[in-house]
Amino acid sequence: EIVLTQSPGTLSLSPGERATLSCRASQSISSNYLAWYQQKPGQAPRLLIYGASTRATGISDRFSGSGSGTDFTLTIGRLEPEDFAVYYCQQYGGSPPINFGPGTKVDIK
């Protein structure tokens, strides 16, 4: 089973600051198989990034993804008020074939 670990658990930042979120896999995964989602309270998750670095349709270029192997990063260039949310990474492959990381909450400092 591939386990995803996200850090930090909570990131407290001010609007305008840069956010760096980490997703680490317990074993190497293909970059194609790593996605990031944003979830706001009371809402379903929304796809941000797929293939580790490709922004989904309509996603601001403030959001960027990078990484390979076991270490992946989601960066939010300059935090806007609407960016404060929980972010999940998700991988495909292994058993179970789909799983999510525990999430990183980005909240207002």
Secondary structure in 3-state letters for 4-56: EEEECCEEEECCCCCEEEEEEEEEEECHHHEEEEEECCCCCCEEEEECCCEEC
DSSP 57: T
Q: Taking CB under 8 A as the criterion, which residues in 2-41 touch another protein? A: 32-33, 35, 37
Where do we find the tokens 């995964």? Answer: 29
Question: In whole angstroms, what is the distance from residue 80 CA to residue 84 CA?
Answer: 8
Q: Does 99 bind another protein (CB under 8 A)?
A: yes
- Which residue's CB is nearer to another protein, number 17 or number 93? 93
Q: Tell me which stretch binds another protein (CB under 8 A): 17-25, 66-74, 75-83, 85-93.
A: 85-93
- Which residue's CB is nearer to another protein, number 67 or number 101? 101
Site for another protein, rule CB under 8 A? 32-33, 35, 37, 43-47, 50-51, 56, 88, 90, 92, 95-103
